[in-house]
Amino acid sequence: MMVIFNGYATVTRADGIPLDTYPPPAAQTIVALYALSRLIISLLCVIVLVRYRSAVLLMFAMILLNYLAVQWLLQFVTIVKVGTPPGSIANRVLLALTVVGLALAIWKPSRQTA
């Protein structure tokens, strides 16, 4: 969520993208696209959680699919990064939490009848 409120610092520090090397309009566009994508996914998650609880499984699957699609896309379209950005650690933790959430959403506890 920090990319929405403090996008420039998040993109440069956490993701390691050297925004200073881009012209200001290009850097602003990069930050805006990062923030917009996070905002849309966050709003969809909140809507599903509040209004459409039966779609939680679908939302976890969509988040996982989004992550995998981005990783696949980055194999063909590389992004220049400076150093080893710490954002990759957070991404791996969020991936693990997403897989656990998906597994818990799929898992149906057995009901014992008395």
Full-model pTM: 0.75
* Cβ-Cβ contacts under 8 Å for 62 (sequence gap 6 or more): 44
d(CA 13, CA 9): 6
For the segment 34-77, what is each residue's pLDDT rounded down to a tens digit?
889 888 988 999 999 899 888 999 999 999 999 999 899 989 98
Contact 38, 1 (CB under 8 A): yes
pLDDT value of residue 114: 59
Spacing of C-alpha 86 from chain mean position = 15
Residue 73: left if φ>0, alpha if ψ -120 to 50, beta else—which one?
Answer: alpha
CB–CB of 50/39 below 8 Å?
Answer: no
Structure tokens at 88: 């990759």
Cα separation, 39 vs 61, in Å, equals 18
